[in-house]
Structure 1
Amino acid sequence: MPQPPQLRNDLYIRLQRLSAWCGVVLFVGFLIAFVVGHLTPPMSPTESPDDIVSFLKDHRTGILTCVALMVLLVPFEYPYVVVTSLQMRRVEGGWGLLSMIQLLTGVVAPVGFFFPLAILAAAAYRPEIHSADVLSAMTDTFWLMFVGNACIFVLQVWSIGYASFVDHTREKPLFPRWYGWLSVVLGILLIPGAFVFLNRTGPLAWDGLFAYALPSAAYFVWKIATPYVLLKAISDEERELAQA
């Protein structure tokens, strides 16, 4: 027997809220995982091969625990990305360029975690059977991919932020203007990550101010702000559905 429309609306809103809360789960989980794995702050690119081997051996359990936690957490990115695009869709009046860019780039996002972390896990899994040169190369690959690939998601961040600037049909935009500017700033701060491949020291190295510290700080602020903004937008949609 078909359910009343209001019950279907309630379920839809509940699922959206759960998806928005996935952003909080990701934020807290990522922070715990990287602290447990001793991956923040990152090691210096100038570390010697022997120092890298010592780090992998000393923190083997923490690194592998970090990777296991990340493997469990990263799938929560998908409902979080989908609900973001659903709310952006309301701004565009249907599926449009902004919501589709966000959805497609968001689907790719977990790959940016899985691949480099798998390489680091392989290095820490049995460090005693590999040479220092091999372990150094694997660790370099992890940090170069993890920090360097962050700039890939500039368009994702900007598409969400831009949605706040084009929402002229409402007196109060679904995505507040301050959030739009926060997204613009984060996108700009992700760009220097591309230059870690060219620098071993300084602010553009993988442990540098511009390539790591500032983008990481902005990312965590953004990761707190986005679920908040989404939950407010979902509440707005719930009021619209109740009045329909």
Structure 2
Amino acid sequence: MPVSYSAQRALIWWALSLLLVFMVAFVFLIRLVPLPPATWTADQVAAFYQANGGSVRLGAVIASWVAGFMVPLALVISVQMRRLEQGWPLWATLQFAGGCLMSMFLVFPPLLWGVAAFTPDRPAEITLLIHELANLTLVTTDQYFIFQFVAIAVVSLTAKHDEMSPFPRWFGYYTIWTAFMFELGAFGFIPRTGPFAWNGLFVFWIPLSIFLLWILVTSFMLFRALKRQEAVSA
């Protein structure tokens, strides 16, 4: 049964809109881009939430509303992967499951930042614990991204394609590279300074940048494929 092209486009735009709102809340309200140094003392962390408590809580509200932005995008990706699979859509299903599960770890950090700011006069060590849990959850939770990326890469590299497919071979290699760079985030547990710290080049900046770029590239490929598919079916 064919899936509405306009509905698929609407889901992609929905995902991109939620992502934009999430980033605005993260950058301008929660104000943790970049993450502060992991060497901050408990008093420094507590002072940050005391000074920015209202803004952080508002940012947590907004980010909590929109942090599931990967779900509609993952659904459209699965619909398009299903076109290319023979039999039961194993890889499309794995991709959608991975996309949904990864959303949990985009939801948890804003919730925890909001908790840290909720009671600014609590003991500083408790606020530090919540702050560390939020930051490390953000940068080290690579567990479910890999299922989405591997599934897309497999279909891109092995399925029989047509000119209407959004997953050419180069996109498979690009997704593998993205997955590899994401896995570097787990090193955030080890150092407190340097490129592998939670605000370092390889744990924060590169994963954040390539994730946003991958979403934009994927959305473009989906939009282009939908346009071609709709033209052929007209």
TM-score computed with the length of structure 1 as normaliser: 0.87
In the alignment, what sits opposite 2:188?
Answer: 196
In the alignment, what sits opposite 2:78?
Answer: 85
* 8 A Cα contact 1:157 1:184, kept in partner: yes
Distance 1:207-1:231 versus aligned 2 partners, 3 A rule: same
In the alignment, what sits opposite 1:15?
Answer: 7
In the alignment, what sits opposite 1:238?
Answer: 230
Supply the distance in 1 between the matched residues of 2:111 and 2:57 (Cα, whole angstroms): 9
Q: Check if 1:39 corresponds to 2:36.
A: no
Supply the distance in 1 between the matched residues of 2:186 and 2:66 (Cα, whole angstroms): 26
Larger displacement relative to structure 2 (232-241 or 109-118):
232-241
Distance apart, 1:65 and its partner CA? 2.1
Supply the distance in 2 between the matched residues of 1:139 and 1:120 (Cα, whole angstroms): 6
**What is the letter of the counterpart of residue 149 of structure 1?**
T
Unmatched tracts of structure 1, length 5 or more: 1-7
Supply the distance in 2 between the matched residues of 1:151 and 1:43 (Cα, whole angstroms): 24
TM-score computed with the length of structure 2 as normaliser: 0.90
* 8 A Cα contact 2:164 2:229, kept in partner: no
In the alignment, what sits opposite 1:146?
Answer: 138
**What root-mean-square deviation, in Å, do the aligned CA atoms of Structure 1 and Structure 2 show?**
2.0
Q: Check if 1:225 corresponds to 2:217.
A: yes
Q: Deviations over 1:2-29 (max 9, x none)?
A: xxxxxx96x8111111011123213322
- Give the 3-state SS of the residue equivalent to 1:202 in structure 2: coil
In the alignment, what sits opposite 1:214?
Answer: 206
Supply the distance in 2 between the matched residues of 1:102 and 1:231 (Cα, whole angstroms): 19
Supply the distance in 2 between the matched residues of 1:151 and 1:207 (Cα, whole angstroms): 19
**What is the letter of the counterpart of residue 40 of structure 2?**
E
**What is the letter of the counterpart of residue 60 of structure 2?**
V
- Give the 3-state SS of the residue equivalent to 1:47 in structure 2: coil
Identical-residue share of aligned pairs (%): 28
Supply the distance in 2 between the matched residues of 1:81 and 1:57 (Cα, whole angstroms): 38
Q: Deviations over 1:57-101 (max 9, x none)?
A: 122122122211212213443222111100011121454232111
* 8 A Cα contact 2:98 2:146, kept in partner: no
Supply the distance in 2 between the matched residues of 1:232 and 1:105 (Cα, whole angstroms): 24
Specify which structure has the higher proportion of helix. 1
Supply the distance in 2 between the matched residues of 1:161 and 1:229 (Cα, whole angstroms): 14
Q: Check if 1:65 corresponds to 2:40.
A: no
* 8 A Cα contact 1:91 1:174, kept in partner: no
Q: Deviations over 1:151-178 (max 9, x none)?
A: 5312212322332222334256431333
* 8 A Cα contact 2:164 2:226, kept in partner: no
**What is the letter of the counterpart of residue 210 of structure 2?**
A
Unmatched tracts of structure 2, length 5 or more: none
- Give the 3-state SS of the residue equivalent to 1:21 in structure 2: helix
Q: Check if 1:97 corresponds to 2:90.
A: yes
* 8 A Cα contact 1:192 1:210, kept in partner: yes
